[in-house]
């Protein structure tokens, strides 16, 4: 792939703008500053823009720490769209991997790798999603076993067994393997609990870490590889 196409895939504008990037920023391939935008790069090359290493893969995976009050939709509707929080250069290309409710916070991935996105969302892939949950009344220890079995969550739907870890009276983490509509709220609702705060803290091998609310970061190549691995994808299969 040519370096100008690589830079445009990684958010440095159109190919024409990427040529400007080569003039404005210091772009290094394997430690050597380059100025030729037709340079072909190989999969093993190490690419840096202004000292920051860019994962050498032909797609982008972005993590957002979603604040409450934003909707997982492409456009503003009743609430502003999460796309307002995505750096402008990525906005037109990236699509959300699944959705979080308007009042849910935490880890949301966006990617332009359509195959990866479809696999992550596919029920057969059984990607684990872990949520930090705050509820409105005291958590009973018996819930751990009760949630670890299939549950009728209404509307003719059954939630697969989930893993509850009680942290204290009102706080727990719940790991689910599906992505049913309002799934966590409906699982707790089955036991007459209201979820008063919900935050996704992990998706498969990817954790939210200390990313500030409302901020984004590009996943590292290793994180991207770990997602490909759980989806049984090879680097060559993307896009």
Residue from 172, 185, 224, 231 touching ligand URA (CB under 6 A): that is: 185
Residues 6+ away with beta carbon under 8 Å from 93:
60, 112
| 182 binding ligand URA? (CB under 6 A) | yes
| 108 binding ligand URA? (CB under 6 A) | no
How many residues are present in the chain? Answer: 239
DSSP code for 215: -
Active-site residue (options: 45, 76, 101, 152): 101
Q: Say how far apart CA 18 and CA 144 lie, in whole Å.
A: 53
Q: Where are the alpha helices (DSSP H) in 49-205?
A: 88-91, 114-121, 143-147, 183-190
Q: How far is the CB of 170 from ligand URA (least distance, A)?
A: 17
Per DSSP, what are the bridge partners of residue 131?
A: 174, 200
Residue from 29, 153, 159, 184 touching ligand URA (CB under 6 A): that is: 184
Residues 6+ away with beta carbon under 8 Å from 122:
none
| 104 binding ligand URA? (CB under 6 A) | yes
Residue from 183, 193, 206, 218 touching ligand URA (CB under 6 A): that is: 183
39 CB burial (10 A radius; 0-12, 13-18, 19+): middle
Task: Give the orientation angle of helix 114-121 with respect to helix 221-230, to 10 degrees.
Answer: 50
Q: Which of 93, 99, 85 is nearest to 183 (CA)?
A: 99
Residue from 47, 96, 107, 198 touching ligand URA (CB under 6 A): that is: 198
| 101 binding ligand URA? (CB under 6 A) | yes
| 48 binding ligand URA? (CB under 6 A) | no
Stretch that binds ligand URA, among 97-105, 119-127, 150-158, 222-230 (CB under 6 A): 97-105
Q: How far is the CB of 25 from ligand URA (least distance, A)?
A: 38
DSSP per-residue codes, 30-71:
TTEE---TT-B--TT--EEETTEEE--SSS-EEEEEEPTT-B
The contact mask relative to ligand URA for 50-89 (x = CB under 6 A, - = no) is ----------------------------------------
CB 188 within 8 A of CB 132: no
Q: How far is the CB of 94 from ligand URA (least distance, A)?
A: 19
Judged by CB under 6 A, the number of residues near ligand URA is 8
Stretch that binds ligand URA, among 15-23, 100-108, 116-124, 223-231 (CB under 6 A): 100-108
Q: How far is the CB of 48 from ligand URA (least distance, A)?
A: 37
45 is catalytic: no
Active site residues: 101
The residues of the shown chain that bind ligand URA, judged by CB under 6 A, are 100-101, 104, 182-185, 198
């Amino acid at each position: 792939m040519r370096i100008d196409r690589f830079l445009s895939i990684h958010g440095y504008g159109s190919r024409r703008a990427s040529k400007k990037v080569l003039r404005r920023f210091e772009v290094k391939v394997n430690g050597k500053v380059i100025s030729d935008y037709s340079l072909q790069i190989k999969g093993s090359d190490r690419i840096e823009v202004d000292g920051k290493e860019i994962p050498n893969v032909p797609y982008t995976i972005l993590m957002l720490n979603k604040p409450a009050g934003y909707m997982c939709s492409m456009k503003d509707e009743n609430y502003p769209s999460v796309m307002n929080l995505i750096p402008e250069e990525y906005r037109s290309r990236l699509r959300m991997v699944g959705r979080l409710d308007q009042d849910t916070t935490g880890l949301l991935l966006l990617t332009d790798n359509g195959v990866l996105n479809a696999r992550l969302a596919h029920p057969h892939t059984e990607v684990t999603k872990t949520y930090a949950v705050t509820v409105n009344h005291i958590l009973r220890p018996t819930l751990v076993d009760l949630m670890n079995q299939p549950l009728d969550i209404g509307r003719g739907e059954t939630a697969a067994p989930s893993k509850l870890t009680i942290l204290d009276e009102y706080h727990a983490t719940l790991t689910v393997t599906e992505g049913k509509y309002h799934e966590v709220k409906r699982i707790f609702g089955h036991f007459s609990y209201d979820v008063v705060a919900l935050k996704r803290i992990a998706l498969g091998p990817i954790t939210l870490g200390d990313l500030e609310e409302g901020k984004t970061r590009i996943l590292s190549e290793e994180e991207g590889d770990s997602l490909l691995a759980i989806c049984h994808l090879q680097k060559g299969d993307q896009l």
